[in-house]
Structure formats: C-alpha cells, structure tokens
C-alpha cells in the first residue's frame, strides 16, 4: 500500500486538462464558475447544467462545502462522546500519575539491602498515604499503590526472596526502578490532544484518567434519508415489475458509520404528493444533510432538480464523471454558514454507494470536523476495463500484495460490494495488472465511527 503524495491532485487536474487549484476554496470557486457558464442542460432536467465534473474535483467540492459550516458544539458525557470530535484542546487537569506509584507487585525498599521486613500489612492500591520507610526497611507493595516516602526502589516479587525477617535481592537494584514518578505522563496544564481529534476508546480512557467527566465536542451531523420511488417493496419477493427497497436498510447504517446521526428514513412516491413532500423536506427539515435516492436524472417523474430549483437551492455538483453514479448531485440549501445540504444519490444500489463515497463521505467528515482520510494506492492484481471518458469505482478485496477486482459491479448490483473491502478508483480507459490504483476503504473496514 502506497500513500498518495501532495502532487496527486495536481496530476489529476492536469489529466482533466486544467491547472490544479491552489486551494480547496479555489477548486469550489472554479467549479461554480463552470456551472454558471455552462450551457443549459440538453437532458431537459430543470436546474441541471448538463456538465459532469471530474470525480476528484467533486470530492474536493464536497469537502470544502462542509468545511465552512458553523460548528455545532456541546458538552458530552464520556459515555456519549465516542466517535465525536474534540471542539477544544484536551488539557491535563492534574499530574499523571498524581503521586508516585508502584509499577509492579513487589517490595518497596529504602537504602541498600538486605532489608528488614516492616511488620504489618503491605501497601495496597487505593489505600491512604503509607508511613515513610526507614533506611534499610522493606514493605510489600501492590501495582498502582502509593510509594512510601524515602523509598529507593521497588523490587519485583520474582526478583527477590525472603529469609526470616529479611529481604534479599537476586539482581542489582537501581535507584527509582519500577516506580512511576508523579507527572511521568504529563503535568497539570499539558496539552494532551488538540482540538479536532477523534474521540476513540483510548481517548475516553485518557480523558477519564485526566479527571474529565464530559468533553467539549462537535455534534454529529444530522442526516435525514428520503428514498424516492413507487416501484419499491418493503417485504417479500420482487413481483409484477416491483423490486425490493435495498437502499433503506443500507443507507442508515452506512451513514452512521460515516459519523452521522441519522434522524429518520422516509419513502416518498413519484407522484405530485411525493414531489410536494420532497419540497417540504428540502425547505423545512432540521437535518444538516438530506440524502435522497433516485430522481436525479431527467425522467418524467424525476423531481429532485425541479424541487431544488423551486426551493432556491444552489447546485454545487450536478453530475460527476464517474461510473456507476454519474447523475449524483450536491446542493446547498441555505447560506454557507448555516450548513444545510442535500446529496442526491442515484437510485441504483451500487451507484448510490458510489455517491456516498464521492460526495457524502467528504462532506460529512468536514461537517463533523474530522480530518480527511489518508489517500493511498495499491497494485491491482488483474486488468480492469475502463470507461472511455469517466472514472470507474470497482469493488475489490485487499490482500497483503494486491487489490483483487470482484465481479458483479453493475450499477444495480450489490453482490460485489457486499463481499468487498474497498473500491478501486479506475481511470478512464482502464488499468493493467500491477498498476497502482487509489483505494477507497469501506467504512467498516477502515474503522469508521464507533457506533
């Protein structure tokens, strides 16, 4: 696996026949300028531009669209903060450890040996401050227990033996051995983690050790899912031109793994009532992101473009040069700081997955304040056919040496991606066996949010 260096974006833009933008903001401005100058769509889709933008540019626009949104922060208990992002630096509230402690079960000793065993019980973790040791004295001590004053070292139980009332070391004893001194890990006020750090299980443990009961975090982006279509069944076998709704069971968990708080999933028809319900959601939903499926093309019942135009939405991406998933879109529903967006996914299942990884993933990461995923490549094992003009996203299995392309990768198929670890980014005209391709890890393989 090979990381992608900083010049990769420039190469991709050069391949597209344009100079690389200096910043993500410039990328968005250029893309919006292209949209505004584009000729009216020849497909007849109201509000559409008829211009698909390069796949990498679409991801940059999605990331930038979320980066300028006003952060929604709160104080979350440790039980609720997992998977969120720190809204402020995590500073140490105390020294860690806050007192000298024993790193091992054994004996605390003072001065050179042999040592006289102090009568009475040993020193246990959580007990009151122990009495100081006299020179030449030893007392049994447990891991994590407070070190008595005037202790020279801790000797592990397996490195010493008792004989009568004395303790003998079986190897040289160095001053301070197996003692964790106060402040060894940090001092009060030290920066433990910067703002923007993902709250992982290890972060929760660190915060608890440092004395925190709650953390200042950015709230998860709220997402409402609208599944469009009259041909979808919620149960039983497909029949009479009707098919099972494969997207409703898939999208909620997928978006949750991408760090979203899914507020609900609704199904809307293709009739005028469905179009009106879509308009009401676009204009009235409190979600940070609305995700729709289907209706993004130019058919007689494809309502997404007309509804967005009626709502005064700003199209940031209207078609991406990628297969599957070409008719995906991204729209801003309010002002930039307000941060409400809509991602329109195609209705075919694998095409919808393509839209999730192309637009929803970078947008949600930016809205949540999370860092972008590291980009990397892997050599593909077999030849992979390509589209003449567009990028292809192909399900692959990852081995120690190769990305192995899988069959069943048509726009309506989920069989390939259900068995996959990732999608490989195949350039126009395809790739040869051994060629390095960018890899998009699926969120449950890459370690998405911990929910």
Tens of pLDDT, residues 57-70: 999 999 999 988 88
| 291-305, 373-387, 395-409: least confidently modelled range | 291-305
| 168-177, 267-276, 316-325, 367-376: least confidently modelled range | 267-276
Tens of pLDDT, residues 9-57: 544 443 433 333 444 444 444 444 443 333 333 333 333 445 799 999 9
Task: Confirm if 86 and 196 have CB atoms less than 8 A apart.
Answer: yes
Tens of pLDDT, residues 331-361: 999 877 777 999 999 988 899 999 999 999 9
For the chain, give the number of residues.
Answer: 451
Q: Could you give the 3-state DSSP secondary structure of residue 198?
A: strand
Residues of the chain above pLDDT 90, percent: 66
Task: Confirm if 255 and 321 have CB atoms less than 8 A apart.
Answer: no
Q: What is the dihedral of CA 346, 348, 354, 357, to 10 degrees?
A: 70
Q: Could you give the 3-state DSSP secondary structure of residue 310?
A: helix
* 349 CB neighbour count, 10 Å cutoff: 24
DSSP designation for 20: P
Per-residue confidence (pLDDT) for residue 234, from 0 to 100: 64
| Cβ-based neighbours of 117, under 8 Å, separated by 6 or more | 137, 138, 139, 162, 165, 166, 167
How far is 121 from 152, CA to CA, in rounded Å? 19
How far is 232 from 347, CA to CA, in rounded Å? 11
How far is 357 from 444, CA to CA, in rounded Å? 13
> Would you list the DSSP string of 321-343?
EEES-TT-EEEE-S-TTT--EEE
- Give, rounded to a whole angstrom, the gap between the first and last alpha carbons of the chain: 27
- Residue 423: strand pairing partners: 395, 440
Q: What is the pTM of this model?
A: 0.79
Q: Is the pLDDT of residue 176 over 50?
A: yes
What residue spans of 221-320 are helical by DSSP H?
247-257, 272-284, 304-310
Task: Confirm if 139 and 148 have CB atoms less than 8 A apart.
Answer: yes
How far is 410 from 171, CA to CA, in rounded Å? 69
Task: Confirm if 292 and 33 have CB atoms less than 8 A apart.
Answer: no
Per-residue confidence (pLDDT) for residue 246, from 0 to 100: 78
* Consecutive H or E run containing 377: strand 376-379
| 96-110, 160-174, 286-300, 432-446: least confidently modelled range | 286-300
Task: Confirm if 49 and 350 have CB atoms less than 8 A apart.
Answer: no
The pLDDT-based confidence of 225 (bands split at 50, 70, 90) is very high
Average pLDDT of the chain? Answer: 85
Q: Are strands 314-318 and 261-268 parallel, antiparallel or unpaired?
A: unpaired
Q: Are strands 179-180 and 214-218 parallel, antiparallel or unpaired?
A: unpaired
Tens of pLDDT, residues 390-434: 999 999 999 999 999 999 888 877 888 889 999 999 999 999 999
* 128 CB neighbour count, 10 Å cutoff: 8
Task: Give Dmax (Cα) for the chain.
Answer: 98
* 305 CB neighbour count, 10 Å cutoff: 26
Structure tokens at 428: 């126009």
Per-residue confidence (pLDDT) for residue 298, from 0 to 100: 73
Per-residue confidence (pLDDT) for residue 345, from 0 to 100: 94
Per-residue confidence (pLDDT) for residue 247, from 0 to 100: 86
Kindly state the average pLDDT of the residues 246-253: 87
Per-residue confidence (pLDDT) for residue 229, from 0 to 100: 73
Task: Confirm if 387 and 410 have CB atoms less than 8 A apart.
Answer: no
Q: What is the dihedral of CA 387, 429, 329, 57, to 10 degrees?
A: 180
Per-residue confidence (pLDDT) for residue 208, from 0 to 100: 95
How far is 361 from 131, CA to CA, in rounded Å? 58
Q: Is the pLDDT of residue 382 over 70?
A: yes
What residue spans of 200-303 are helical by DSSP H?
201-209, 247-257, 272-284
Per-residue confidence (pLDDT) for residue 32, from 0 to 100: 41
Angle 437-251-227 from CA coordinates, rounded to 5°: 120
Task: Confirm if 9 and 20 have CB atoms less than 8 A apart.
Answer: yes
Tens of pLDDT, residues 265-284: 888 887 888 889 899 999 99
- Residue 83: strand pairing partners: none
């Amino acid at each position: 696996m090979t990381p992608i260096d900083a010049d990769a974006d420039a190469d991709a833009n050069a391949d597209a026949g344009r100079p690389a933008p200096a910043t993500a903001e410039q990328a968005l401005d250029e893309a919006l300028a292209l949209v505004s100058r584009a000729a009216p769509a020849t497909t007849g889709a109201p509000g559409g531009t008829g211009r698909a933008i390069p796949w990498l540019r679409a991801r940059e626009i999605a990331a930038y669209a979320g980066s300028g949104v006003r952060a929604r922060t709160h104080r979350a208990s440790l039980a609720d903060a997992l998977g969120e992002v720190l809204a402020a630096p995590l500073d140490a509230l105390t020294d860690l450890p806050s007192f000298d402690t024993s790193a091992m079960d054994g004996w605390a000793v003072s001065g050179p040996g042999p040592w006289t065993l102090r009568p009475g019980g040993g020193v246990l973790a959580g007990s009151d401050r122990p009495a100081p040791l006299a020179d030449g004295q030893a007392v049994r001590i447990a891991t994590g227990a407070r070190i008595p004053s005037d202790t020279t070292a801790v000797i592990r139980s397996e490195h010493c033996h008792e004989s009568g009332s004395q303790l003998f070391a079986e190897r040289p004893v160095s001053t301070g051995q197996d003692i964790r001194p106060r402040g060894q890990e940090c001092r009060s006020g030290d920066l433990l983690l910067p703002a923007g750090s993902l709250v992982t299980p290890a972060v929760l443990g660190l915060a608890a050790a440092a004395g925190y009961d709650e953390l200042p975090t950015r709230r998860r982006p709220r997402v409402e899912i609208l599944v469009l279509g009259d041909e979808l069944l919620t149960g039983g076998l497909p029949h009479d031109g009707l098919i099972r709704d494969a997207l409703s069971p898939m999208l909620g968990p997928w978006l949750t793994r991408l760090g979203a708080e899914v507020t609900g999933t609704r199904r809307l028809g293709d009739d005028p009532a469905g179009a009106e319900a879509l308009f009401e959601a676009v204009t009235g939903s409190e979600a940070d992101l609305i995700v729709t499926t289907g209706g993004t093309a130019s058919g007689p019942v494809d309502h997404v473009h007309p509804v967005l135009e009626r709502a005064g939405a700003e199209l940031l991406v209207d078609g991406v040069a990628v297969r599957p998933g070409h008719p995906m879109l991204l729209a801003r529903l309010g002002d930039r700081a307000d941060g409400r967006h809509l991602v329109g996914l195609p209705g075919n299942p694998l095409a919808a997955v393509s839209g999730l990884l192309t637009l929803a993933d970078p947008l949600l990461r930016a809205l949540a304040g999370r860092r972008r995923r590291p980009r990397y490549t892997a050599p593909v094992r077999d030849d992979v056919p390509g589209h003449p003009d567009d990028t292809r996203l192909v399900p692959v299995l990852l081995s120690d040496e190769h990305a192995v392309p899988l069959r069943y990768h048509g726009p309506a198929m989920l069989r390939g991606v259900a068995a996959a670890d990732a999608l490989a980014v195949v350039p126009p005209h395809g790739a040869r066996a051994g060629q390095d391709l960018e890899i998009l890890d699926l969120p449950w393989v890459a370690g998405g949010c911990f929910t």
